[in-house]
DNA sequence: AAATCAGGGTTGTATGATAACACGACAACG
DNA sequence: CGTTGTCGTGTTATCATACAACCCTGATTT
């Protein structure tokens, strides 16, 4: 046994469902900035959960700056136009469509980063990329060392853009993507994949070394398409409209409540 | 009259205090990655609060990715070596090259967003964009209303990508760019500029409406190039800015508990 | 020895109660 | 008439307790 009976990573707590439901209401404009939310009691009954759960959800939204609340008055939708920090909630990332979206964003950044790197790379950048590739060749596919070298390669590409924000964002997004993949943990490994993946990286490297902007873009696009396949995202027109269609392990308990929440959120 | 005394800055909730206390323990290394936290009951008694408060704090830390918990086992410190939030420092943005880099990143995102929007826009998106354009036509160039409509237009484009992360990132980057421009505040206004800028937006809109992917990209690229010129970006410089670090008012009630928490946490 | 199961410990959720606070209604008072 | 004090209601913040679901361990049984 012990086959990868999905370890149900972070089974979404009820508070998470409630939080994303409210969050969705805000995002879709049904709750505008300054609006007062229903009372905790009302939310609890409409969602069919305890007030405690609602409070955890609200605490979370408050910590994200989406709403603010005052004792004796109520909770109100905050001004969302001043996000001073950017955070990606990785419980939401467990949803397939969210993951796809983030992967798409990563792709855009990676491809353009490859283009800039092909224009601006210096000798030091090329050496760093070469070292990272060597590291990938030396390590077994999927091992920790392999993953580290993989990340390192992409990091050096980002660095070669000479745009620190590009690197910052790219690392941030890539890390979230990687975490999500590791959490799913359903990727099979083979020597073929090692060879293919390595080849993709080498083509990216070659194009960047030659200053071939469009070649670098194409090679990176290929690589990402391959990576998408390897993690089980079918390629092509990736992200469809965001709809709450999560597939993960079915919730055991409270399934009716969860369904109700999902239904109302989906709209 | 109207003496504006600060609106009572309410003391943070107990759950916030508990959360930041635990957070500090992690940051200072007293709780290493993988360590198991004390049980909720234990935390409740040591902090002198109810288990409910502890749960809200833990829910918050969990949503921030600092810890993860599993029913029946406990809560554990997550791998937090990679940043879970992304922030852009105000001061570094004042440097011209930093600003240029951020502007470049914004350009990449905007151009690709325009492409995706041309593919995926729906009728509601087109209407929203049209409304934003109307708002720009009605408002004087550079006015608050004009800026709001401008932002609104770009936001609707991002929304039409059907990729929430795209919108999130784009809004975040654009806001930083806009703040920086406003801080510089050395842009001249003219009717010519109003006409030109509006025309750029209209071409973007037309291309997206027609589903012209490359046209949308080109139009957005034009617009950004124009915007770069208008803010004096090629030899540009930035201005000074301040960053008021505001203090929180002293908590009124539960002061003993709060002090206890602060004391133990502060070290 | 291996499988099964019982028990305790922990988190997740529900429920009710109390305290702190905001706000309007209303009477008392000048 | 305007002001003030008081009260009542509604809401959030917190507490306390109980139960359900789940994990882990170890004894019991096969």
Could you tell me the CATH number of the domain that includes residue B121? 1.20.120.530
A169/B105 touch (CB, cutoff 8 Å), yes or no:
yes
Q: How far apart are CA B236 and CA B225, in angstroms?
A: 14
Choose from A143-157, A165-179, B207-221 the range with maximum mean pLDDT: B207-221
Residue B96 makes CB contacts below 8 A (sequence gap 6+) with B236, B237, B238
Q: Which nucleotides of strand D come closer than 7 angstroms to any CB of the protein?
A: 10-18, 20-24
**Interatomic CA distance for residues B229 and B242, integer angstroms:** 25
Q: Inter-axis angle of helices B164-184 and B144-160, to 10 degrees?
A: 160
Of A91-95, A245-249, B51-55, give the lowest mean pLDDT range: A245-249
Euclidean distance between CA atoms B166 and A101, whole angstroms: 8
- How far, in Å, CA of A203 to CA of A222, rounded? 10
> How many structural domains comprise chain B?
2
Domain identity same for B78 and B175: no
- Tokens for A149, please give them: 């070298």
Q: Which domain holds residue A33?
A: 14-85
Which CATH number does the domain housing residue B261 bear?
Answer: 1.10.10.10
Query: Has residue A170 been placed in a domain?
Result: yes
Q: Which nucleotides of C are covered by protein (CB under 7 A)?
A: 9-17, 19-23
- Quick one: A80 and A104 in the same domain? no
Tell me, yes or no, whether B175 lies in a domain.
yes
Same structural domain, B219 and B131 = yes
| Distance of alpha carbon A26 from alpha carbon A46, whole angstroms | 17
B141-148 average pLDDT score? 84
- At residue A40, the pLDDT reads 92
The answer to whether residues B57 and B169 belong to one domain is no
Task: Indicate whether B65 and B103 sit together in one domain.
Answer: no
Classified as helix, coil or strand, B84 is coil
Which protein residues have their Cβ less than 7 angstroms from some atom of strand D?
A 37, 39-41, 51-52, 55, 58, 69-75, 252-253; B 13-15, 48-53, 56, 70-73, 254, 257
* Spacing of C-alpha A115 from chain mean position: 23
In a domain, B1, yes or no: no
Mean pLDDT of A193-218: 94
Looking at the DSSP bridge assignments, the partners of residue A75 are: A69
Among residues B140, B156, B136, the alpha carbon closest in space to that of B148 is found at: B136
A263 located within any domain: no
Q: Which two tokens stand for residue A78?
A: 């905050």
In a domain? residue B201: yes
Q: Residue B176: inside a domain, yes or no? A: yes
Contact B90, A173 (CB under 8 A): no
Cα–Cα distance measured from residue A106 to residue B35, given in angstroms and rounded to the nearest whole number: 32
At which of A85, A120, A135 does a domain end? A85
Whose CA is closest to B136, among B123, B152, B156, B118? B152
Establish if A244 belongs to a structural domain. no
Which pLDDT belongs to residue A239? 36
B170 backbone dihedrals φ, ψ, rounded to 5°:
-65, -45
Comparing A92 with A57, which gets the higher pLDDT? A57
Chain A hits for B119, CB-CB cut-off 8 Å, are 237
- Same-domain pairing of A31 and A112: no
Residue with tokens 């590739």, as numbered in its chain? A133
Token pair belonging to B117? 């929007």
- Whether residues A119 and A69 fall in one domain: no
Yes or no: say if B170 and B158 are a contact pair by the CB < 8 Å rule: yes
CA of residue A12 relative to chain centroid, distance: 16
Query: Are A96 and A154 found together in one domain?
Result: yes
Domain end residue (candidates: A62, A85, A108)? A85
Q: Are residues A114 and A218 in the same domain?
A: yes
Q: Look at residue B128 and tell me if it is in a domain.
A: yes
pLDDT confidence of B94, banded at 50, 70, 90? low
């Amino acid at each position: 046994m012990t086959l990868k009976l999905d370890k149900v990573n972070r089974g979404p707590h009820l508070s998470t469902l409630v939080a994303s439901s409210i969050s969705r209401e805000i995002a879709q404009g049904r709750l505008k900035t300054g609006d007062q939310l229903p009372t905790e009691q009302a939310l609890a009954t409409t969602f069919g959960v305890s007030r405690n759960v609602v409070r955890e959800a609200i605490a979370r939204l408050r910590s994200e700056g989406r709403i603010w609340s005052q004792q004796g008055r109520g909770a109100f939708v905050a001004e969302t136009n001043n996000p001073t920090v950017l955070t990606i909630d990785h419980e939401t990332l467990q949803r397939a469509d969210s993951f796809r979206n983030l992967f798409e964003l990563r792709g855009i950044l990676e491809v353009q980063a490859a283009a800039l790197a092909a224009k601006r790379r210096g000798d030091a950048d090329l050496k760093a990329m070469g070292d990272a590739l060597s590291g990938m060749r030396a390590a077994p596919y999927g091992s920790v060392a392999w993953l580290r070298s993989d990340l390192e390669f992409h990091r050096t590409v980002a660095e070669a853009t000479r745009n620190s924000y590009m690197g910052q964002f790219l690392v941030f997004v890539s890390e979230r993507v990687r975490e999500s993949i590791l959490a799913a943990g359903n990727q099979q490994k083979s020597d073929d994949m090692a060879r293919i993946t390595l080849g993709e990286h080498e083509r990216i490297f070659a194009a960047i070394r030659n200053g071939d902007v469009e070649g670098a873009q194409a090679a990176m696009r290929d690589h990402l398409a391959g990576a998408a396949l390897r993690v089980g995202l079918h390629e092509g027109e990736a992200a469809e409209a965001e709809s709450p269609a999560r597939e993960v392990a079915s919730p055991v308990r409270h399934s009716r409540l969860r369904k109700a929440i999902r239904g109302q959120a989906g709209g």
